[in-house]
Amino acid sequence: MGSASAQYPTGISALMHGKSRVLPPKFEVLRVSNHSKGKSLKTSMCPGYASIHSSKLDVNECKLSLMFRLPARISCYPNSNMLVIKSNYPQNADLPRYYSKKEKKPFPIPVVELRRAARARQKSSKGQPRKPFPPPRNGMLVRSLIPVAYEVLNARVTLINCLKKLMKVVPVHACKWCNEIHVGPDGHPFKSCRGPRVEVRKGLHEWTKAIVEDVLVPIDSYHLFDRLGKRLTHGERFSIPRVPALVELCIQAGVDMPDLPTKRRRKPVIYVGRREIIDANEDDLPESETDPFKKPILTEIPDSGIVPPTTPEETALLSKKALEAWEMMRGGALKLMKKYSVRVCGYCPEVHIGPSGHKAQNCGAYKHQQRNGQHGWQSAVLDDLIPPRYVWHVPDLGSPLKRELRLFYGQAPAVVEICVQGGAVVPDQYKPTMRLDVGIPSDIREAEMVI
């Protein structure tokens, strides 16, 4: 046994001798064990591989159980029988952290790094002539993003229309007292309700039928006629219309809507001060022609005109279409957010589309009295603009979820779970949180045996 253990790496030989030692971090966990007594196990170690080949090891006197780590991506030599695992996403992943209403959201980029980058820019531009501001900061549109804005807006409408039809055949439940939802034949039995009088119901949910607004959380923002104009004051909060934040982002990126006019410039603005601007004279320019990037905008289907799918094949095609619209909407919105500023309050879900947040004192989050109701504006991330609304993944529609096996279930965004139960293929980026490769025990006794 001693001569055989010398051929193994340090971590594996320690496991064979019963010692506890941390394995190299570049490997994923894998277990190798012998199943029959009296057989030999051939093992050896090749750099970068997770297989073991060695001279014959007698296992008559002990049962060998090895645990070591596999790299996330392994490449094999040609003409080799080694194990090959290729994946761009981790096997399992945790959900985004849940932040309490009593704590502030973290900055997407720490303030220390922002200050360090600002000092580096100031140092590199010292003694250099001042460069003109690029669009959209100079008031002009980013021409390459105008088609993306139309695609995002149409993808949003397509997703809403598909969800209205899918929710007629895929049951979706919403809690009566809190904002939690569940996709499946029956609501889940977990005691996770945070609504009023939760102690009377002992944390259990009271399920009702959900609507589209429960799946796609409505995030509204103020519509700005001029995104470079003066900031909205507290007295103007009722005179400015509020529209969905994603629609406002598409309008500022180049989508023209008759009922929501916005100011378009054909010449860059002139900065008089840090925040004061003057519009350039456009009298010498010819009259504007038809925009070549303009596309027709889809409209939402009213609830009275919804026709649900009748066959499983039609449901699967509709689910695939909805999933493609979801990915297109989120991917296009991420491209727009890299150019057009989107701000979010660090204390509440308020979103503002524009370079600076508004001055309306309507924040009612934790300790808003100390801030006089003002919002704590910071850069937004994609989940602030389009909340994914994670729900529990139901691996088997025939059997309900069990409260004791909660640790073995995964979660997915509500839109993805609806499409998967409708017949769509699970996208690779959502497999880690859905825990599709985790075996679910059949009963509590089997679950207690899991290490």
| 145 & 270 share domain | yes
Instruction: Identify whether 122 is part of a domain.
Output: no
Query: DSSP string of 349-398?
Result: --EEESSS--------STTTTTTTT---EEE--HHHHS---EEE--S-TT
Instruction: Identify whether 259 is part of a domain.
Output: yes
Calculate the CA dihedral of residues 114, 117, 119, 120 and round it to 10 degrees.
180
Q: How many domains in the chain?
A: 3
C-alpha to C-alpha distance for 89 and 386, rounded to whole angstroms: 22
Instruction: Identify whether 117 is part of a domain.
Output: no
C-alpha to C-alpha distance for 149 and 78, rounded to whole angstroms: 47
| 205 & 354 share domain | no
| 253 & 187 share domain | no
CB 267 within 8 A of CB 285: yes
Average pLDDT over residues 384-411: 90
Mean of the per-residue pLDDT values of the chain: 82
C-alpha to C-alpha distance for 434 and 292, rounded to whole angstroms: 43
- Tokens representing 379? 């850069």
For residue 208, pLDDT over 80 is answered with: yes
Instruction: Identify whether 107 is part of a domain.
Output: no
For residue 32, pLDDT over 60 is answered with: no
| 16 & 46 share domain | yes
Last residue of a domain, one of 361, 385, 409: 385
| 192 & 268 share domain | no
- Tokens representing 155? 């993808």
Last residue of a domain, one of 349, 370, 385: 385
Last residue of a domain, one of 28, 60, 86: 86
Tell me what pLDDT residue 132 has: 87
Say if residue 269 is exposed, middle or buried (CB neighbours under 10 Å; 0-12, 13-18, 19+): middle
Looking at residue 231, the DSSP 8-state letter turns out to be P
> What separation, in Å, do the N-terminal and C-terminal C-alpha atoms of the chain show?
27
Predicted confidence (pLDDT) per residue in 259-299, tens digit:
999 999 989 998 887 778 888 888 888 877 777 788 899 99
For residue 422, pLDDT over 60 is answered with: yes
CB 249 within 8 A of CB 353: yes
| 39 & 55 share domain | yes
Extract the runs of DSSP E, i.e. beta strands, from 114-187: 172-175, 181-183
CB 268 within 8 A of CB 138: yes
Instruction: Identify whether 51 is part of a domain.
Output: yes
| 65 & 41 share domain | yes
Lowest mean pLDDT among 76-85, 192-201, 362-371, 391-400: 76-85
Instruction: Identify whether 258 is part of a domain.
Output: yes
Beta pairing class for 220-222 and 207-209? unpaired
Per the DSSP assignment, residues forming a β-bridge with 208 are: 174
For residue 317, pLDDT over 50 is answered with: yes
C-alpha to C-alpha distance for 295 and 289, rounded to whole angstroms: 15
- Taking the CB of residue 266, how many other CB atoms lie within 10 A of it? 12
| 193 & 250 share domain | no
Tokens 């989050």 — which residue? Answer: 365
Instruction: Identify whether 108 is part of a domain.
Output: no
| 157 & 176 share domain | no
- CA nearest neighbour of 193 among 212, 184, 206: 206
Q: Of 338 and 61, which is predicted with more confidence? A: 338
Predicted confidence (pLDDT) per residue in 113-151, tens digit:
999 999 999 999 998 888 888 999 999 999 999 999 999
- Tokens representing 218? 């409505």
Calculate the CA dihedral of residues 138, 141, 143, 146 and round it to 10 degrees.
150
| 342 & 416 share domain | no
Tell me what pLDDT residue 44 has: 40
| 44 & 3 share domain | yes
Contacts of 436 (CB under 8 A, 6+ apart): 395, 410, 426
Provide the residue range defining the domain that includes 41. Answer: 1-86
Amino acid (one-letter) located at 149: A
- Tokens representing 174? 């919403």
Q: Kind and range of the H or E element at 4?
A: helix 2-5
Average pLDDT over residues 6-19: 42
Contacts of 390 (CB under 8 A, 6+ apart): 95, 411, 412, 413, 414, 433
Average pLDDT over residues 361-379: 94
Q: Of 285 and 11, which is predicted with more confidence? A: 285
Tell me what pLDDT residue 341 has: 95
C-alpha to C-alpha distance for 243 and 137, rounded to whole angstroms: 23
- Taking the CB of residue 142, how many other CB atoms lie within 10 A of it? 18
Instruction: Identify whether 404 is part of a domain.
Output: yes
| 404 & 436 share domain | yes
